Amino acid sequence: GQNIDQPTEMTATEGAIVQINCTYQTSGFNGLFWYQQHAGEAPTFLSYNVLDGLEEKGRFSSFLSRSKGYSYLLLKELQMKDSASYLCAVRDISMNTGFQKLVFGTGTRLLVSP
Amino acid sequence: KAGVTQTPRYLIKTRGQQVTLSCSPISGHRSVSWYQQTPGQGLQFLFEYFSETQRNKGNFPGRFSGRQFSNSRSEMNVSTLELGDSALYLCASSPTEGGGQPQHFGDGTRLSIL
């Protein structure tokens, strides 16, 4: 089966740093995505990790440890516009069919206050 | 480059009716995936189409079906609607199948069942 866990909600203040964790259990793993979704809008791609380590992209960084089934998204210099839901999604491979699909966590709602 | 277009944006139906949702992917993208998003369950994978063939299917009843046309546009049909089908239905397109590249989401169709 597949299981992806993220905290439901987090709060932080403008200018701070926040880390959103994601743990996963899947039958076949082939990469992990982070998406941002503002209320009432479509999810937008933030980052992709397939190898262990840290990927940095501006104020956002994402880390992956395949052996621990763990990832985090790090947001630096928080801005009010970063208030959104952050979705962790694992690329899961079916051991039976070999087909791959994205399995999403329920998302972490981040509220940035002044 | 135009993004992913979903129509209609909003839809109200009653129990027992059927509904068809449409998704036009980004030009050149051959993969279209459909997701159901609800507050409690997050994004749940419905199915993926690539080159007019269903490549993968999630754990939804047979009332949920889809198809893809030669121009990569896709439709999703839900028959015998139930109250629990009220949700935001998102489609996402990608150049390749299986979630190997970032998916680009449409704004969704919000379906309400009365």
DSSP-assigned states of every residue in B65-112: EEEE-TTS-EEEEE-S--GGG-EEEEEEEESSSTT-S--EE---EEEE
pLDDT at A93: 85
A94 interaction partners in chain B (CB closer than 8 Å): 56
Question: Please, is A22 exposed, middle or buried when counting C-beta atoms within 10 Å of its C-beta (0-12, 13-18, 19+)?
Answer: buried
**Among candidates B41, B90, B97 on the partner chain, residue whose Cβ is nearest the Cβ of A42:** B90
pLDDT at A19 over 70: yes
Strands B19-24 and A3-5: unpaired
A47, closest residue in chain B (CA to CA) = B102
* Contact present, B28 and B1 (Cβ < 8 Å): no
% residues pLDDT > 90 (chain B) = 84
What the block records as the tokens of B66 is: 């889809």
Q: Which of B10, B29, B33, B45 to mutate to test the interface with A (most CBs of A within 10 A)?
A: B45
B88 interaction partners in chain A (CB closer than 8 Å): none
Least confident span in B20-24, B30-34, B56-60: B56-60
E runs forming strands in B25-82:
31-38, 42-50, 53-57, 64-68, 74-78
Cα dihedral sign for B34, B38, B39, B44? Answer: negative
Give yes or no for A65 touching B (CB within 8 A): no
Give yes or no for A99 touching B (CB within 8 A): yes
pLDDT at B1: 64
For chain A, the average pLDDT equals 94
Contact A104 B43 (CB under 8 A): yes
Distances A19 to A12, A22, A111 between C-alpha atoms, Å: 10, 10, 13
* Contact present, A105 and A15 (Cβ < 8 Å): no
B55 interaction partners in chain A (CB closer than 8 Å): 99
B105, closest residue in chain A (CA to CA) = A42
B58 interaction partners in chain A (CB closer than 8 Å): 101
CA nearest B21: which of B38, B4, B44?
B4
pLDDT at A85 over 70: yes
pLDDT at A96 over 90: no
Contact B100 A103 (CB under 8 A): no
Question: Please, is B87 exposed, middle or buried when counting C-beta atoms within 10 Å of its C-beta (0-12, 13-18, 19+)?
Answer: buried
pLDDT at A77: 97
Contact A97 B107 (CB under 8 A): no
Question: Please, is B74 exposed, middle or buried when counting C-beta atoms within 10 Å of its C-beta (0-12, 13-18, 19+)?
Answer: buried
